[in-house]
Amino acid sequence: MTHGNRVRVVAAGDHFILPSLIRQALDHELTCDVRELRLGWPLEPFGPVAEVTEASDAEDELIDALTGARVLVTQMGPVTERVLDACPELRLVVVCRGGPVNVNLDAAKRHDVRVCYAPGRNAAATAEFTVGLMLAALRRIPQAHELLARQGSWEGATYYTYEHSGLELEDLPVGLVGYGAVGSRVARVLCAFGARVMVFDPYVHGEIHGLRVASLDELLRKSRVISLHARLTTETRGLIGARELALLPEGAVVVNVARGPLLDEDALCDALESGRLSAAALDTYETEPVPPGSRLFGFGDRVVLTPHLGGASRAVAEKAAAIAAAEVGRWARGEPLAHCLT
């Protein structure tokens, strides 16, 4: 339903991509009627909702907000078969993420709903965070901070002893598993540090920053640090398990700011316990939030853990809203959509 020629849009934002950011971005693209809805993420964790993954549990709220709307712009709204059945006027869903994992694409196609997304919105932020987390793990930065700032102890000076001092990136062999929007940026930054960057990605051709290696096994054998940047698919789930970790040189470090299920956490904990790995730095996990009894909490200063913050920059929220609004504008003007899956 529209008022005259005005498209009715629901801006189902959250506490990161604010509904007001979506509205402001839409105002630059077209004249429309916007209804704002704020979902609970990240103060409330996402998870599976009906048949979709990584969504806010808010089907009822979304259905109510979408009454008469033709367009939905959202990050975490659960666009399930039930929601699509209840919203027959809906014609366009734009997801403010790198992939529409909160949308039932088959059902959207059956309901003649176009689905778009916002590729690359958080690539720079995630790449920066990855390098920051890598440095934190290699140089024991958060552990030393905890001792001094929280406990008032100079005990962190022990990290200046030869036995406990960290590794520097210059001349360090660092292996990147995946060379997409994030991995390629990480490679450029690490090359600037002087790291010996190696890359394994069978789907990327052409020039890269660093040395391309022919197999994952070769990358693992040669890397003192590995950083994961692959997409999570049925093929890559559990990509790094016990066999792969055993190929790393003793004392290696594992960094994961991509997707938790790429890495077998039990195998990682076993490798930390045995001493094969000296440290790990994780921002994503097999289960989020991490369960209270997780083995990951038992390694003291050998692990750096953050609660899925890789894409958390204000610029990401602003970019995502702008990319989504531009897609709505193209749709309203009858132009070809830039990032459409259905």
Active site residues: 259, 288, 308
| Kind of pairing between the strands at 211-212 and 277-282 | unpaired
Gap between the Cα atoms of 286 and 269, Å rounded: 13
Gap between the Cα atoms of 210 and 298, Å rounded: 35
Joined together, the tokens standing for residue 142 give 């958060």
Where is 95: in which H helix or E strand? strand 92-95
Gap between the Cα atoms of 48 and 54, Å rounded: 6
Gap between the Cα atoms of 258 and 164, Å rounded: 28
Gap between the Cα atoms of 129 and 186, Å rounded: 9
- 33 sits in the region (left: phi over 0; alpha: psi -120 to 50; else beta) called beta
For residue 11, the SS3 value is strand
Q: Which residues, 6+ apart, have CB-to-CB distance to 78 below 8 Å? A: 49, 50, 52, 55, 56, 57, 58, 59, 62, 102
Closest to 46 (Cα-Cα) out of 106, 102, 103:
102
